[in-house]
Amino acid sequence: MSQESLHNGINQTAALIAKAGKVVVFTGAGVSTESGIPDFRSPGGLWSKFDPDDFTIERFLYSPETRKRQWKSLLDGGIFAQAQPNAAHKAIAWLENIGKLSCVITQNVDNLHQKAGNSPDKVHELHGNMKWLKCLDCFERYPLEDLLARFRETEEVPGCGRCQGILKPDVIFFGESLPTQTLKDATSAASNCDLLIVIGSSLVVYPAAYIPLYAKGGGAKLVIINKAETSYDANADVVIHRGAGAVMDRIVTVMQQLDAPCA
């Protein structure tokens, strides 16, 4: 991508945001990697450190050894707890602050949108959130850090304090469906927005990757910011093949120069 094309794409995106009343942002792993969180599939990614079979719901339910390995990895890893929002997260939070952002739809589980300042009720987490544990019996939720401290002391996998059921990281494992209400809310938001900005997603994981189709079907403009090409590039109004943080930072700068009006 030439510098001229990059410059034009940034200016076009800033103009589309300024004109839009309802902006929805859809984020994928390419946003998280800039905060030091490796993705799953690339060389050096999470699957090179963990056994993917340990993240099937069947293995988790029926193997106490698998559950203990997961607790040890949560204790030793610290990837999600230590990660901090990057320029892309901060730019998305800024869009909310100026009244442009309708919501964020994310495939990421790292809680970084909330850390950056986005309101939790505006973040639709399609794959869950590693900050929480959920009881598979009574559905009580617990902050992960609280129970990690107990595991650190005893090395015994804690159960639900309410019913002693199995506690599972509140993220989607292989073999589980996406949360119905979250997917419904995300689909509705995409179908009714003026502009959808896809940031850092290859758009290959379904059903989440249908989100751009819902937006275009509703008449929205589509911007894709991703290092690699996607199968949706031909349908986008603007495509920028660059890293998320640097591009979003420049878009914010252009909008500030435009003195973008609040919705």
Q: Which residues are catalytic?
A: 127
Q: What is the dihedral of CA 26, 29, 33, 38, to 10 degrees?
A: 160
| Residues whose CB falls within 8 Å of the CB of residue 26, separated by 6 or more in sequence, listed in order | 104, 105, 106, 190, 196, 197, 198, 199, 201, 211, 212
Q: 176 has which bridge partners?
A: none
Q: Is the peptide bond before 207 cis (omega within 30 degrees of 0)?
A: yes
133-145 b/e (C-beta count within 10 Å ≥ 16 → b): bbbeeeeeebebe
Contact present, 125 and 28 (Cβ < 8 Å):
no
Pairing state between β 221-225 and 101-106: unpaired
Q: Provide the H-helix boundaries in 63-196.
A: 64-77, 79-82, 87-97, 112-116, 144-154, 180-191
